[in-house]
A and B are shown apart, each in its own frame.
Chain A
Amino acid sequence: GQQLNQSPQSMFIQEGEDVSMNCTSSSIFNTWLWYKQDPGEGPVLLIALYKAGELTSNGRLTAQFGITRKDSFLNISASIPSDVGIYFCAGQSGNTPLVFGKGTRLSVIA
């Protein structure tokens, strides 16, 4: 099945720092999504990307759909304590189910 490689697996950063995480795939995707999961909660959609090369922002978050359609990155600028959580990339193509990466666990040190 389709596999997503998400990195890094975990990050410890100081409050105010910028964060970058990415996902790569051996398969082409038509849609890239980035979700955040807080402890004990379900994934919540942050950003959706539908077109190769697309760069989309949501507040301090910026995500890009790679030109090759096999990768995507998520940047968080000026991190704050509430950014703590697990960030998942997810990809989808054709009529196949949405596939998730293994997640990046973000810890922010105040």
Chain B
Amino acid sequence: EPEVTQTPSHQVTQMGQEVILRCVPISNHLYFYWYRQILGQKVEFLVSFYNNEISEKSEIFDDQFSVERPDGSNFTLKIRSTKLEDSAMYFCASSWTSWGAGGANVLTFGAGSRLTVL
């Protein structure tokens, strides 16, 4: 079964440092997403990406965040200067269709990257 893979599984960083989280979406998917989950809380939308540009972002996704698809397989989330409150599990997801396409739009999630900011 195709899967979304994420690296690293866990990263510990000092406040103020830059972090890059990597994802390899399912190969024939066209839409890519980042969600985050603060410990014990719900999964929250950060950003969606299609055709090499951001299609939607939440208020959480401020100027400290950026996403990139540097090649044909990777999808990265960069946090420029980490803050304590950025500590969370970050999930990458991909889908074949967009939000509004109905039926076939099912997001497949990776196992997540746990970010701990000290």
Contacts and interface: CB of A to CB of B under 8 A. Distances in A.
Q: Do A and B bind each other?
A: yes
Interface residues of B, number: 26
A100 interface: yes
Interface of B: 4, 33, 35, 41-45, 48, 56, 58, 91, 93, 98-100, 102-103, 105-112
Interface stretch (A13-21, A62-70, A72-80, A91-99): A91-99
Given A94-B99, A94-B100, A96-B99, A102 B106 contact: no
Contact of B109 (A42, A101, A102, A103): A42
A40 B41 CA distance: 14
23 contacts: A31-B102, A31-B105, A33-B106, A40-B111, A42-B4, A42-B112, A43-B91, A50-B103, A88-B42, A90-B43, A92-B105, A95-B98, A95-B99, A97-B45, A97-B56, A97-B58, A98-B45, A98-B107, A100-B42, A100-B43, A100-B44, A101-B42, A102-B41
